[in-house]
Chain A
Amino acid sequence: MPAVRPRRPSPKLDMNPMVDLAFLLVTFFMLTTTFRTEEPVLVDVPASHSEIKLPDVDMLLITVSEDGRAFVTIEGQDTRRRVLGMMAGHYGIGFSAEQLDAFGLVAGFGVPLERLGAWLELPPSERMRLPQPGIPSDSLNNELRDWTVFTRIANPRVRVAVKGARRAPFPLVKEVMDMLVENNINRFNLITELERSVPVEP
């Protein structure tokens, strides 16, 4: 046994290609990314063969959850703020400047207007944790209709999409559709996920 072991050179790995790749990917993701808007409620959407893609801007999304609660997601900070201003005027409920600003940052919500102010005061982490009661859409107090109408006024180019949960009772979704038709929105989109089977011609 030799008294001194020969020191083996530590194996060196050339990391450069890996780092190059990592930076390439970082650049790619940075340039292509669009951040996911926070969803007010998680819904499992039905599948279809339709492949129409929805734009990211100028959207009004009405979500109907499995238990029939309605949520509204309005794209665009400025649009949101203006819509809330109009809603406040219509219902005679005042909102502070802070609340308006907070609303500009909230993508989707399902809170009746009278409770919206208090909800906006909550820290953002609390907001999503609390169960939201949904936006009233019955005939006596149809806030959902007013949100839709005012969003269309605030942004005439807005497109309406309905995102229903698979197992949501159809009559509730139909109510939303009827409301849209009632307000002359005859063309709208239903959000679905792509079903992976190729349709066969007979």
Chain B
Amino acid sequence: MSEEFTPRARRPLHKEVSIDMNPMVDLAFLLLTFFMLTTTFSKPQAMELVMPAKPKADEVVEEKPIKASRVVTLLIGPDDRLFWYRGVEDVQVNETGYGKDGLRDLLFRLDGEIEDLVLLIKPMRECVYENMVDMLDELQITGMQRYAMVPEEPADRELLVQQGLLQE
């Protein structure tokens, strides 16, 4: 037998077949980068807000008078300021903040002091949306049951100016 017919004897036994994997890996990483950048993991968080239904035209809404001592008014003021007062007449307006030590403490304290607390929230015309969300959030956290969003009255602004809390 000539050597030409026995090639096996000479060849290395395992000649490795190598495929160039680089393009595939490049593509894999390209896709990985693409999906990582375009994906949104965090769905938007949301607050649920249930507004009182608007009364029908022929419906008479019965408004029960509320005892003034149970009422606390929160005024959402300009420049992230927050004012509050108890009762209705001859009131002393106080100022607080939106943080944990401000509004949340206040709400917990008032809730403890006043039975059947009713909160009137009056956003003033200069206030920003963030203040309102902070307010709703704190109401949610402190578990307030009775609150109403009411439009501000000129009297409230006068009160603030009178007590030197706001410049006209």
Contacts and interface: CB of A to CB of B under 8 A. Distances in A.
Contacts of B134: 46, 48
B126 to A, nearest CB: 8
Contacts of B140: 48-50
Contacts of B25: 15, 19, 22
B121 to A, nearest CB: 11
Given A165-B129, A173-B132, A36 B45 contact: no
B45 to A, nearest CB: 5
Contacts, number: 150
A169 B128 contact: yes
B133 A19 contact: no
A52 B130 contact: no
Contacts of A173: 129, 132
Given A170-B123, A181-B54, A189 B130 contact: no
A54 interface: yes
A52 B50 contact: no
Nearest to A173: B129
A188 interface: yes
Contacts of A79: none
A193 interface: yes
Interface string B97-127: 0001000100010001000000000010111
Given A46-B129, A168-B129, A170-B132, A190 B46 contact: yes
Contacts of B104: 199
A187 B47 contact: no
B39 interface: yes
Given A26-B31, A34-B39, A46-B134, A167 B129 contact: yes
A182 B100 contact: no
B28 A23 contact: yes
Interface size, A (range) = 35 or more
A123 to B, nearest CB: 21
A171 B47 contact: no
A164 interface: yes
B144 to A, nearest CB: 13
Contact of A33 (B35, B133, B136): B35
Contacts of A107: none
Given A182-B54, A187-B48, A48 B133 contact: yes
Given A22-B32, A26-B31, A35-B38, A188 B141 contact: no
Nearest to A185: B51
Given A26-B35, A36-B38, A170-B127, A189 B47 contact: yes
A154 to B, nearest CB: 22
B35 to A, nearest CB: 3
Interface in B14-53: 21, 24-25, 28-29, 31-32, 35-36, 38-40, 43-53
A138 interface: no
B31 A192 contact: no
B72 interface: no
19 contacts: A19-B24, A26-B31, A33-B38, A46-B134, A47-B133, A48-B134, A49-B141, A53-B45, A163-B44, A164-B129, A164-B133, A170-B76, A173-B129, A174-B123, A189-B46, A191-B46, A192-B133, A199-B104, A202-B108
Given A174-B123, A192-B46, A194-B45, 11 more contacts: A26-B32, A33-B35, A36-B40, A47-B133, A52-B46, A54-B45, A54-B46, A166-B129, A173-B129, A181-B52, A192-B133
